[in-house]
């Protein structure tokens, strides 16, 4: 069975492991090395099992722990070239780190997985999601930090066995919350984040295409709740029934466990 481990997923830190205790890959390393290692250990996984780390973009909540982790547990880094340049310039990648540029539409092989990148619209110089094909042929997609689902994004997430899609904010909570107006506008823009409603609408479309496993990710701890995100998704997926016609998980901000598919 294929497994994905959303170890950390929120606006404060993101890190997801694809694979098994025998080996696999991380997507992002947005919390401290210590916390990543503890989360892996809680799932029976050694940090030495991390063969490669794929970076979606360079915001702190996706790369915060990268420097220390690489010093202790060297792994191959994959990212868009613009992001590799930013990471080296900022000192987050040590000189001599093994890196490979992967641009939108390209794919690479790592630890027995085939990983392809696709561009996502976000307020950063370069941003992407990843589609991961497991050795047994199962496919999982991680797609967060995007203001809208473009044609490129849609083509990249369609047909996967499991999709981890962003459900960042509840519009009512964002509107009435304490964030300043410019930040609220940024979050709701087409280069910001996905709302619960838009996420749910896309999950329903994915279900029409045969996807049966969904993970809601990157929930804002200020502008969302797991209950609101799950309710919006389940309503959008009606008349399908949860746990009969599809499986729905909400990735916690920390302490994530294996999702089997």
Q: 102-107: which pairs have CB atoms within 8 A and are 24 or more residues apart?
A: 102/54, 102/78, 104/80, 104/128, 104/152
**Edge-to-edge order in the sheet of strand 99-101:** 99-101, 76-79, 50-54, 23-27, 13-20, 3-10, 259-260
Global confidence as pTM: 0.97
Model confidence pLDDT, tens digit, residues 193-234: 999 999 999 999 999 999 999 999 999 999 999 999 999 999
User: pLDDT of 92-135, one tens digit each?
Assistant: 998 889 999 999 999 999 999 999 999 999 999 999 999 999 99
For residue 171, give the H/E element and its range. helix 171-176
Q: How does the average pLDDT of the chain come out, rounded?
A: 97
The ranges assigned to domains in the chain are 3-260
Q: Is the dihedral of CA 67, 70, 71, 76 positive or negative?
A: negative
Residues above pLDDT 90, as percent of the chain: 98
pLDDT of residue 108: 98
Between CA 240 and CA 172 the distance in angstroms is: 26
Q: Say what the pLDDT of residue 193 is.
A: 98
Cα–Cα distance, 104 to 59 (Å, whole number): 18
Q: Which tokens hold the place of 26?
A: 């991380």
Question: Is the Cα dihedral 80, 82, 85, 90 positive or negative?
Answer: negative
- Averaged pLDDT, 153-174: 98
Q: What is the pLDDT of residue 94?
A: 87
Q: How many CB atoms lie within 10 A of CB 169?
A: 30
55 Cβ contact partners less than 8 Å away, ≥ 6 residues apart: 27, 28, 29, 62, 63, 66, 77, 78, 79, 83, 87
Task: Classify domain 3-260 at the CATH class level.
Answer: alpha beta
Report pLDDT digits (tens) over 27-85: 999 999 999 999 999 999 999 999 999 999 999 999 999 999 999 999 999 999 999 99
Please report the pLDDT score of residue 194 as a whole number: 98
- How high is the pLDDT of residue 95? 84
- DSSP label at 218? -
């Amino acid at each position: 069975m294929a497994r994905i481990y959303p170890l950390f997923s929120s606006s404060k830190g993101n890190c997801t492991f694809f694979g098994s205790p025998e080996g696999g890959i991380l997507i992002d390393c947005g919390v401290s090395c210590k916390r990543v290692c503890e989360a892996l250990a809680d799932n029976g996984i050694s940090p030495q099992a991390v063969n490669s780390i794929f970076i979606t973009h360079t915001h702190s909540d996706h790369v915060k722990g990268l420097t220390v982790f690489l010093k202790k547990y060297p792994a191959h880094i994959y990212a868009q070239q613009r992001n590799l340049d930013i990471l080296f310039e900022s000192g987050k990648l040590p000189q001599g780190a093994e890196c490979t540029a992967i641009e939108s539409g390209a794919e690479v092989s790592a630890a027995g997985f085939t990983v392809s990148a696709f561009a996502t619209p976000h307020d950063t110089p370069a941003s992407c999601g990843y589609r991961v094909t497991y050795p047994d042929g199962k496919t999982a997609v991680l797609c967060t930090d995007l203001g809208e689902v473009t044609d490129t994004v849609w083509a990249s997430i369609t047909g996967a066995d499991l999709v981890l899609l962003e459900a960042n904010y509840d519009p009512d909570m964002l509107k009435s919350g304490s964030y300043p107006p410019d930040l609220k506008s940024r979050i709701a823009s087409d280069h910001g984040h996905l709302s619960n409603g838009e996420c749910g609408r896309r999950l329903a479309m994915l279900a029409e295409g045969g996807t049966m496993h969904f993970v809601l990710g990157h929930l804002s701890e200020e502008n969302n709740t797991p209950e609101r995100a799950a309710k919006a998704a389940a309503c959008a997926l009606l008349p399908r029934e949860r746990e009969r016609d599809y499986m729905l998980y909400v990735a916690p901000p920390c302490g994530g466990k294996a999702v089997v598919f």
